[in-house]
Every structure is written in structure tokens, then in C-alpha cells.
Structure 1
Amino acid sequence: MMKSFFKVIFLLALTTSTKAQELRFGLQPIQYVSETQGPYVDFFSTLDASTIAFEMDADSIWHARFKVALSFEGKVDVVRFEYTSEDSASSAPLMLQKSTFTFDDTKEIEKRPLEIFLYDEVSNSDWSFSDTLEYVASDFWLSQPVLLDDVEEVPVNYVKRGVSVVPVASLGLPVFENESTLSMYTEGFVASGKYILQYKLTDAYGNIIPGTSGFARCNTGSTPVYNKIDFSSQKSGQYEYSIVMLDSTGQAVAERISPFYWYNDKADEAAWNGPEVSVTRAVFENGWGQWSQVNEYLRMIAPVATMSERRIMTNLKDSEDTARIASFIVNFWTDKNAMDPLGEWKGYLVVVDKVDQEFGSRTVPGYRSQMGRVFLQYGAPSLVEERSFDGRNYPYQVWQYDQLKSSSTPVQQNQVFIFVDQELIGRQYTLIHSSALGEVKDHKWQYHLTRHTNAGPDIDATSTQYSRDNFGERISNSIIIGNQGTWFDRF
């Protein structure tokens, strides 16, 4: 029986004193099965070069040098990142390196240890981590689809079966900015039997993008699946490429999903410049609202806007063209309900009013509060766990959603939001961490709840490390990559 293995992804959020920045590094294993080599894994290391140390050399140019060493299956591979810049490091890119290891399939160990060593040559800082990859027996295997970058020069070790397999460098979801085509690569392996691969591209609502679905029959051994799609007409949004392996009865035996962000200014502008309703002040104030408040209405509807609509709203929010903003608002609700756009808007205002009563204050309206924004975007949580101030922990709430739906993200299951009142003023709860896509993440959120009381040598320690358990029972303590806030923080 052919042995195969499940995919394990982890992303590291590391804190370094160098330049007082957070080191951002990601490691993603993509696993395959070769007819000749057997099972093997490609590790893609991604480094944000703007978060490592730089030094000026004799050539008056800034240099950064960083090493990553991986130890797996009794072997070690070292890759080196080098970057130079004539000015500051603020615009340094995400950088990608690849390591490949073959599994020793004679071992009966399911979880194979992985050691990661990081070393900043400029600052002389180093880190080490341990993890595992799981290895199980199966007659088939489906690899995680890789969303490909379009690069001119491709190193030979990135070529698979004649295809350039260079992933888009990312720390989180891959991002495509004003591209015209989209390329994906994956492989299915079958030791014996009849299997079919079914693939498709869907938008945030689960709708299949026309011309992006299809089938591929699995041959004995490895079957590559390479798709290159003209995506130039698709508006900005979050999309998913998914592929399913079906057995001879039509039963799905494996599925892999690769979500990504797609930004397309031309398509967004075309949608805005297309047929629209032109609104006068008299018409707007006759039912829609006050002409002088259109900028505020724009902020009210931000939580329920699609990613394409957000791109337009970003350009409109500081505009003095009141008529253009008013027209956008009317067209926004016309897209949502062409039969009764005004009724749709008034129905939303009822919810906004309730949110204001629940989460607003004298200085901040409810829809501008972080709790109010989350409520408007995703609806009411399935469960709220509230902890009051007890002398050791700040008051905080855990919002749990069994199913998470919004206009800008795909459907998600079992997600949580952590809000904390560090000012102790009742209604000013701040969102410090969420497991949901596109939301702020902080792997040290528990520490921020008890920072004023957590005594011990390790500032990253959670309360349970000091025999206390003051946190929500349904929250995972796993490391999650940090980010720079959300779109709403900048809007």
C-alpha cells in the first residue's frame, strides 16, 4: 500500500528587538508523491525583508542577509536570503526560497519531527522552532493547489513536469494586484483504481466563475493539473480554487482549497462607470437621507460592502463630490435589491440604529465601534462569553460564530473574535484577535488581557503557565501570524 501524508501549514509570527519590528516569516509545506522517488515535500520559506536588519557596507548600499535551516527526515537544508537597497528597507519585498525533502516511507512513525532554525546575519539574532508533519497510509494523494507567480527566470528546482511552479510569495492568503491571468498547479497520485479530479474557481458567495471548472482523469501514478485562466474581467474580491478527488462511485475522497485575494482596478472602475442612477439633492433628501451626511452613510455601509465596492469607497471617502457619493450609495443598494433599493437601505438603517444603542457611546457611534462593525458585517454571534474585570484580567468578550458569512469573505466555520476593554469604560471594547480571514490576528492576545498582572520570567507566557486559567475555554493557543490591522482601520 502506498503511503501518503496530510498537509500541515503553520505560519510563524516572531518578535525581534531589531529595529523594534516584528519579524514576519512563513513556512508552507506542499506534499507530493513521485512514481520514482515516492512521497516528498517542498518547503517554501517566505520572508518579509522589510522586517529584518540592514547594515550599510563599504559600497554605501544597505544589505540584509538571513539564513533558514530546516532539519527533516535526518537531513538538513540551508537557504539564504540576501537583499540590497540604496535607501530604506521599508519597501523591501516578500522573498521566497524552496527546500525539498524525501520522506523515508520505511518508517512506521506517523508524525515526523521538523526543526526550523532562523538566523539574521546582520543583527546576529537567531530563533529555533519545532513542529511535525503527519504521515499516513493511503492508495491516493491530492496535493495542495499552488497559486503561481509569473516570473521571467525560473530556477530549475522550481520546475515540475515542464511547468514553472513558483508560488506567489505571501504571509497569509496570496494577493494578486492588477494581473490579467491566474495560474494554478497541483497533482493527484493514484496507486491503483479509478479516480477523477474535479476543479473549479468560486467567488466569495460560492458561485462558480464561468469557464473555470473542469475534470481530469487520474492515471496510475501522478497526474498533474495545470490551469491558466484569463481573469481580467473579474472584480476585486476573495476567490477560491478548489479541487476534489472522486472515486469510481462519485464519492469525494480528498479535497483541497486555495483561497486568494484578487484586486482589479480596471474591472472595478468599469463596474462603477457603467449604467448607474444619477441622484440629485432633492431626490436623495426626499427619502434616502441628508445630503450633508453622505460621507457618514458611506462609513455606515462599509461593513457590508464587497471587496470591489471597498476599493471604490476608499477613493470616495475623502471626496468633496457629494453627488458622486450619493449616487454610489443609491447604486450600492440597487445592486443589493433592484426592486426596492430604498427599502433595503431603510431596513439596514434599522439594524444600524440597534447597533448604535448596543455598542455606541457619546463619542463613537455604534457602527464605528469595533463590536458594531463586526455585528454589522457578520451578524449576531452564535455565542458570547463575557468575563468581567476581576482584578487580574481586563473585561473581555469572546464572540463565537458557528458559521461566518459576509459580502467580502467566503463562508467560514467556527470562528472567534476577542474583544477587550483595556480602558475600563464599559463600551469601548477593542478587537485584539480573531481567527477569521481578513481580521486582525495576535498570537499573544492572552498576554494583552493580563499584562498588568502577569508575573514571571517569560513575557509571552499565558496564565495557564502560571497555574491560572482565566481565558475562554473555546480558544486555541496556537501561533497565528500577525498582520497590520484590517481595511476598516484605514477607512
Structure 2
Amino acid sequence: MKKFFILLSLVNLLFSNGMAQQIKANFSYSTFYSPTNESYLETYLYFNGNSLKYKLNSNNNWQATVEVTYIFKQGDKIVDFKKYNIQSPEATDSNAVKVNFYDQQRIALSNGKYDFEISLRDLNLSEKSFSTTQEIEIDYKVDEIQLSDITLIESFKKSETKNILTKSGYDLMPYASDFFPEDFEKMLFYVEVYNTEKVLAKDEPFLINYFIESFESKQIVGSYRGFKRETPKTVNPLLTSFDIQKLPSGNYNLVVEIKNKENKTITLKKVFFQRSNPSANELLISDDYVNSFVAVISPAELEEYIKSTSPISTQIELNFAKNQLSNKDPELMRQYFYNFWLTRNSSNPEEEWKKYKELVKTAETEFSTSIKKGYETDRGRIFLKYGKPNTLTEMKNETSTYPYEIWHYYGIEGRSNVKFIFYSPDIVSNDYPLLHSTLPGEIYNAQWKVELHKRTNQPRDLNETKPRDYMHDRTDEFFTLPR
């Protein structure tokens, strides 16, 4: 299950038409593969009923109607298109609290990368729709053991009649968010394993392992792990849950992996989620900071050090740090800073800080400007969060574009072939804002080529995604084949 992190991940998507009333909806999607050799995408939309405009319908009841449009593009070609209206449950009283409602669609898509555009419009407001685009990839093979996306589940029941919610004999109601507030006691999830009967011998055993790991350290959290022994089938489904009553607030990954009889990991998938659980947070607070490395840090240094952790902080940590920096209590700041590194390396938090501190120094040397610290710049943030790129293409003297850099990572965050494009629209400074990225959760800009060429090419169309051709322009080449 994946979200449009426009961002952030978290993580819920807020569609706004810029007017007084907003459409509020959580959106997520998962990809699957059917035994008929057909891959497909499932979309999940969960609407906040009170965010919509209601009007009287033919039954003399109050009802909202939302127009939903999905467009799938490869380059300039529209590969698939779906447009439909979704109606809310009817209400007899216009002043009553409007119930939330849900929509799910299945769309057959072949393997490949797509620019997926989603648009929402409240038809009772008759305003222009709001659209956003995210790159998605489908890559299911017929001769390899693979996993579907992991789908978070709100509830399930035995299926009586097959319908769009039905999988493996159950009706599954997806949970179209990755935020789990304190009142959630369980996290349900569903995943499918494909092609085991094609790759493994008949009755050859394998394991489906599943666990919760820290998003930051990638370490398994406590006893949040389980497994299921299986033998080859056309599809091996897994529907299970974790009790998360004692899971502290924080950012996590839910991970599912397949291991063969030699205990070798064949494939894995993970999905991000965020937990808010203040009652469990006391378990994480440590008083060891009193005699630790933070005890000798001056208040001024401590303030700067806390600020420098922003690129790798969770949203909860950012909020907490903001409060500490505002209150300026040295002891609380020391406690926060110590616990920040303790959660990332419980055996040696000081060593973890020292390694990061060296990276902060590198970011300061390479990316700082006259008004920004290195970690405050986009390049510094990406460097500190994801590390040094595997390849870096730097172009400062192309006549048709602003100076730009393409950072290429072979693999980060479970994604392969990830690229970031930074550019210098003011040409002279060392500040290169992030223009476009292929990593979900970072800036996605379908018009990045046009923006990059605005130095010499003003677009004729607001929706234009390709600038005019220029002699010796190698932007496409460098982006497609980084070096």
C-alpha cells in the first residue's frame, strides 16, 4: 500500500481547491498480480463527509457528489483513463454530521512506469478540480517469487458474495491511511505471494516472515515479529495482525519477507506507517543522559546540534524539537538529544551522533550558503537523509538551462534507480533547490524540464511538460542515463 506523500508520506493526502471549503480525502493504492498473468492497481479513497458540499437529491435527501479522474501516462501518451462520480450516503438533515465514505477501484495495468494523475472535484461546488501526479511502477514477473504490495486493513469478514472487496475468501476493508492514533489496538494487513509453485519444488516449504522495524534505524522493534510456514500454491495469501497497544509513538516500517528452506531471503516488501501512542512513550525515556556525552555540550551548541538533526527526524521528533528549542531548557534539550540518538543506536548513541556530526560538517562545507546552513539546504537535507549519491551529474554551463545537478541512487527506501534534480534559478548562489525527484515522498514535478529551461524558454502552455528542442541539450540523456 502506497500513499501520495505530497508529503509527507505523512502521509495523508489533502486535496484542496483553494476555496473556503476543502475536499479532505485519504488516498492510497496497492498493486497485485492475478493467476491469469494480469497485474492490476487497486485505488482506495476515503472521504471526510463534512468536507463536502451537500445538496438535495431526487429523494429529497442531502447528498454530496465527487467527480474522480484517474489518468495513467507514459511520456505524453495516455495509457489508461477512468472518470466517474462517487456519491456520499444520503442524509435526511442538512445540519447532521456527515458520515465518511469510501471508494475502491481496480484497474488493469501492464508492467511499466506510469505518471499517475488523480483529480477530485466537488460537483456541488462546481469549482475547478485539484490534481496531483505521482510516478508509480508495476513490475511483476512470471518466473520469480514476488510479493504484492502490503495493504493495511481496517476490518474484514468472511465473504458471502464475491465483490470488489473480496480477496482469498474475505471481504477486506482497506485502511486508507498510514497513521495509527492511540485508540487503535491492532494493525491488520494483507499481502499475497506469487509464483511459488513455479519456482519451488512440490511441497517444498518456505516461510513468510513479517515484522515491524524502526523507520530510522531499520532495527526490528521488540517482539513485533511473526511467521507463517507455507508450501507452494498459485497464490499464497497472508491476512494477519499485530497488537500495537504498547507500540510507542514513532515512524515505522511494516516488513514482509519470503525465506526459502535455507533461510535465505528471496524477496521482501515494506510499507511505512506512523504511530501516535503517548501512553507508551514513557517506556522510551531514559535518564542516562545525565552522565552521558550530552552533559558537557553547551546550551548554544546543543541548540545548533538539535537543529542539524531535522533532515533525519520524524514529524513527531520535529514537533518535539521545536518545543524544546522554543522553551530553551538545557536539561530538557539534553534529554531530548540523548534519546534521539538512543532510539537510533541503543548500544552506543554517542557513536551514532559522532558519525552524523561528520556528515553535517561535510554538508556545511559543500552545500551551505551565505544565509543557510548546509543541513538547511535541499542538497544538504537529501545528503544527510539518504547519503552520498552513487553518481552525480553536474552541469553549470549549459546555455539553455539553469545550472543543475542530477543525483542518482542505485537504491534507497526500497526503491531502485532513484533520481533527484537540483537547480540554481538565481544562477550565482550555492543554493540549489530540489526541482524534481522520482522517490515517493519527495517533490514530484512533471514539468521539471520546462522549469529547468525557463532561462531561455518561457512555456506557452501551463500544462506543458516538454521544452522546445535545443542543439547540444543533453538534459534527457543525463536524466535517463546518469553518469
Whether TM-score is above 0.5 comes out as: yes
User: What is the aligned partner in structure 1 of residue 154 from structure 2?
Assistant: 149
State whether structure 2 residue 364 is matched by structure 1 residue 361. Answer: no
After superposition, give the CA deviation of every residue in 1:354-385 in whole Å (9 maximum; x if it has no partner).
Answer: 42232222221222222222222233222221
Aligned counterparts of 1:143 and 1:412: Cα–Cα separation in 2: 15
Structure 2 counterparts to residues 241-390 of structure 1, below 5 A: 241-244=255-258, 246=260, 255=267, 257-266=269-278, 269-278=281-290, 287-289=296-298, 291-305=299-313, 309-310=317-318, 312-333=320-341, 345=353, 348-390=356-398
SS at match of 1:270: helix
Deviates more, 1:389-398 or 1:312-321: 312-321
User: What is the aligned partner in structure 2 of residue 163 from structure 1?
Assistant: 170
Aligned counterparts of 1:400 and 1:467: Cα–Cα separation in 2: 24
CA distance 1:216–1:337, shift in 2 (3 Å): closer
State whether structure 2 residue 475 is matched by structure 1 residue 475. Answer: no
Aligned counterparts of 1:187 and 1:220: Cα–Cα separation in 2: 11
Structure 2 counterparts to residues 177-196 of structure 1, below 5 A: 177-178=181-182, 179-188=184-193, 193-194=202-203, 196=206
CA distance 1:135–1:436, shift in 2 (3 Å): closer
Structure 2 counterparts to residues 447-462 of structure 1, below 5 A: 447-454=450-457, 457-462=460-465
**TM-score normalised per structure 2:** 0.68
Structure 2 counterparts to residues 102-121 of structure 1, below 5 A: 120=121, 121=123
CA distance 1:41–1:208, shift in 2 (3 Å): same
After superposition, give the CA deviation of every residue in 1:448-489 in whole Å (9 maximum; x if it has no partner).
Answer: 212353356544434466466442535369xxxxxxxxxxxx
Aligned counterparts of 1:249 and 1:352: Cα–Cα separation in 2: 41
Partner amino acid for 2:227?
A: G
**TM-score normalised per structure 1:** 0.67
Structure 1 residue 325, shift from structure 2 partner: 1.0
Aligned counterparts of 2:55 and 2:286: Cα–Cα separation in 1: 54
State whether structure 2 residue 445 is matched by structure 1 residue 436. Answer: no
Deviates more, 1:184-193 or 1:423-432: 184-193
Q: Of residues 98, 103, 108 in structure 2, which corresponds to 1:97?
A: 103
**Contact 2:400/2:470 (CA < 8 Å) preserved in 1?**
no
SS at match of 2:364: helix
Aligned counterparts of 1:339 and 1:132: Cα–Cα separation in 2: 38
Aligned length: 437
Structure 1 residue 416, shift from structure 2 partner: 2.0
Partner amino acid for 2:303?
A: N
What are structure 1's unaligned runs of at least 5 residues? 1-6, 104-108, 405-409, 478-491
Aligned counterparts of 1:70 and 1:391: Cα–Cα separation in 2: 35
Partner amino acid for 1:214?
A: F
State whether structure 2 residue 230 is matched by structure 1 residue 217. Answer: yes
Q: Of residues 180, 192, 204 in structure 2, which corresponds to 1:176?
A: 180
**Contact 2:67/2:83 (CA < 8 Å) preserved in 1?**
no
Partner amino acid for 2:368?
A: G
What are structure 2's unaligned runs of at least 5 residues? 7-14, 73-79
User: What is the aligned partner in structure 1 of residue 407 from structure 2?
Assistant: 399
Q: Of residues 243, 254, 257 in structure 2, which corresponds to 1:240?
A: 254
What is the root-mean-square deviation in Å for CA atoms of aligned residues? 5.3
Partner amino acid for 2:441?
A: G
Structure 1 residue 227, shift from structure 2 partner: 0.7
Aligned counterparts of 2:264 and 2:351: Cα–Cα separation in 1: 44
Partner amino acid for 1:420?
A: Y
Aligned counterparts of 1:250 and 1:348: Cα–Cα separation in 2: 33
Structure 1 residue 166, shift from structure 2 partner: 1.9
**Contact 1:435/1:441 (CA < 8 Å) preserved in 2?**
yes
**Contact 1:69/1:79 (CA < 8 Å) preserved in 2?**
no
Aligned counterparts of 2:288 and 2:373: Cα–Cα separation in 1: 30
CA distance 1:296–1:182, shift in 2 (3 Å): same
User: What is the aligned partner in structure 2 of residue 482 from structure 1?
Assistant: none
Partner amino acid for 2:434?
A: L
Aligned counterparts of 2:3 and 2:432: Cα–Cα separation in 1: 29
Aligned counterparts of 1:332 and 1:124: Cα–Cα separation in 2: 45
User: What is the aligned partner in structure 2 of residue 446 from structure 1?
Assistant: 449
User: What is the aligned partner in structure 1 of residue 12 from structure 2?
Assistant: none
